[in-house]
Amino acid sequence: MRNMNHRLWGYYALNRGAIVKECESDLGQAFKAIRSVETSGAAVEDALLADSCNEWLLFHGSSPAKCESICRNNFRISLSGTGATWKDKGSPKGTPLYGHGVYFADRVTKADEYSEMVEAGRRFAGCHTMLVCRVLGGRVQYCDTNEIDPASLQKQVISGPFHSVFGDRVTKLKKPFREVVVYDATQCYPEYVIYYR
């Protein structure tokens, strides 16, 4: 189901314009287009993605209620670490691998790990839910090791020349997925809720 939230789209479109301009300028960190994302070159209906700012279609698995809430109100960075992130016993919040941000996968199988089923008696009962989102990667902080300092990565994006973290667990580590993390909710637009079995 397509999400037609004009307010969220407006914030996203403004941010996309700003990130395109930043990627065109020389801020001490050259822009590099990342085309190894599984969904590179994909188009949703008739709307193309902007390669000039690493705009991608990515997946985010969650519960049906959370998917609906995200489509209405966008992602809330303050909730990062409260979901499937590993937590100390009794702690409601953990520290995600790349810091507190919004996580996306370029493969549906990774997002499926976080998806939940629609309850019996509700529309689409028995189906799982996930979001297909437009995500602005911009200048990416590329990370392909297990030696990860989440606070440092997050700081390089929030206070430095980068717009996102590109966690490549495939190339060197031979893991089955890549993740993209943004720390500003206006860098993503939840475009579709997918119901699947």
CA angle 147, 152, 153 (to 5 degrees): 75
pLDDT at 18 over 60: yes
Q: In b/e form, how buried is each residue of 134-148, taking b as 16+ CB within 10 angstroms?
A: bbbbbbbbebeeeee
Longest dimension (CA), the chain: 55
Each residue's pLDDT tens digit, 118-150 = 999 999 999 999 999 999 999 999 998 888 888
Each residue's pLDDT tens digit, 148-192 = 888 888 899 999 889 999 988 877 888 888 899 999 999 999 999
Residue with tokens 């507190």: 100
Contacts 24+ apart (CB under 8 A), 72-78: 72/5, 74/8, 74/11, 74/185, 74/186, 74/188, 74/190, 75/102, 75/185, 75/188, 75/190, 76/185, 77/101, 77/102, 77/183, 77/184, 77/185
Kind of pairing between the strands at 128-136 and 140-143: unpaired
- Chain centroid offset of residue 12 CA: 13
Q: What pLDDT, on a 0 to 100 scale, did the predictor assign at position 169?
A: 82
Contacts 24+ apart (CB under 8 A), 144-148: 144/168, 144/169, 144/171, 144/172, 144/173, 145/172, 145/173, 146/173, 148/97, 148/98
3-state class percentages of the chain: helix first, strand second, coil last, to nearest 5? 25, 25, 50
Q: What pLDDT, on a 0 to 100 scale, did the predictor assign at position 126?
A: 94
Single out the residue of 149, 142, 178, 146 nearest to residue 163, CA to CA. Answer: 142
- Put simply, whether the predicted model's pTM sits higher than 0.85 gets the answer yes
49 burial level (CB within 10 Å; 0-12, 13-18, 19+): buried
